[in-house]
């Protein structure tokens, strides 16, 4: 039993989960991990909250469910949820990468997502690393019909008093979400 505990501690200290999922401990600096990405780019389900903060439904059978929006210690907000393709056709997230030149190279991704503080009249763009890669989920092969994929997107945090923001994703309706933490 002591050996198992030591092994678990050693694996945790290595900082990796083998790329199979997301850790509950969020980095305080999203660009601190290898390659400047704050999360492994996998489609493995994570231990996300089952709470639903908002549901956005597109006209093409795409549904985005936001399960959490957490303020991280390092001054970031991480939004997590699930994207579901409820159509009978594949979906490659057209337009979701946003219109900024730097973000266009992210391909099928959540790179065009923004948070809007209506009261403070400020828009928070997705964070990116020094190579212009978004700190968000990418869908390198798109979503097949019926597929559900967990997502995350990281943004600079609005001031602490701001508890509610609009989550915007190109081609989808806007959703108002509450920030926790």
Given pLDDT bands bounded at 50, 70 and 90, which one contains residue 59? confident
| Three-class HEC string of the chain | CHHHHHHHHHHHHCCCCCCCCCCCCCCCCCCCCHHHCCCCCCCCCCCCCCCCCEEEECCCCEEEEEEEEEECCCCEEEEEEEEEECCCCCECCCCCCCCCHHHHCCCCECCCCEEEECCCCEEEECCECCCCCECECECCCCECCCCEEEEEEEEECCCCCCCEEEEECCCCCCEEEECEC
Tell me the mean pLDDT in the region 18-35. 37
Phi and psi (nearest 5°) for 35? Answer: 80, 5
Instruction: Give the model's pLDDT for residue 168.
Output: 96
Q: Tell me the two tokens of residue 23.
A: 């850790």
pLDDT digits 0-9 by tens, 64-87:
999 999 999 889 999 999 999 999
Domains and CATH numbers, the chain: 43-178 (2.60.40)
Given pLDDT bands bounded at 50, 70 and 90, which one contains residue 97? confident
DSSP state of 36: G
**How far is it, in rounded angstroms, from Cα 77 to Cα 119?**
17
Mean pLDDT, the chain, as a whole number?
A: 77
pLDDT-wise least confident of 42-51, 58-67, 166-175 = 42-51
Given pLDDT bands bounded at 50, 70 and 90, which one contains residue 53? very high
Instruction: Give the model's pLDDT for residue 45.
Output: 38
Given pLDDT bands bounded at 50, 70 and 90, which one contains residue 115? very high
For the whole prediction, is pTM greater than 0.75?
no
CB-based contacts of 17: which residues, under 8 Å, 6+ apart? 23, 40
Range list of H helices, the chain: 2-13, 101-104
């Amino acid at each position: 039993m002591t050996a198992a505990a030591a092994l678990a501690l050693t694996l945790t200290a290595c900082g990796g989960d083998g790329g199979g999922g997301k850790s509950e401990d969020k980095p305080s600096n999203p660009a601190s991990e290898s390659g400047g990405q704050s999360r492994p780019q996998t489609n493995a389900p994570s231990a996300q909250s089952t709470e639903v903060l908002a549901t956005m439904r597109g006209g093409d059978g795409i549904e985005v469910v936001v399960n959490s929006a957490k303020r991280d210690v390092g001054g970031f907000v991480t939004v997590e949820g699930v994207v579901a393709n409820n159509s009978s056709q594949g979906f490659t997230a057209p337009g979701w990468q946003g219109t900024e030149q730097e973000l266009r190279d992210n391909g099928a991704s959540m790179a065009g997502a923004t948070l809007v503080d209506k009261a403070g009249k400020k828009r928070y763009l997705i964070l990116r690393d020094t190579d212009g890669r978004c700190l968000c989920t990418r869908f390198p092969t798109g979503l097949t019909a019926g597929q559900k994929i967990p997502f995350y997107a990281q943004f600079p945090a609005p001031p602490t008093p701001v508890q509610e923001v609009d989550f915007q994703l190109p081609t989808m309706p806007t959703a108002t979400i509450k920030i926790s933490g």
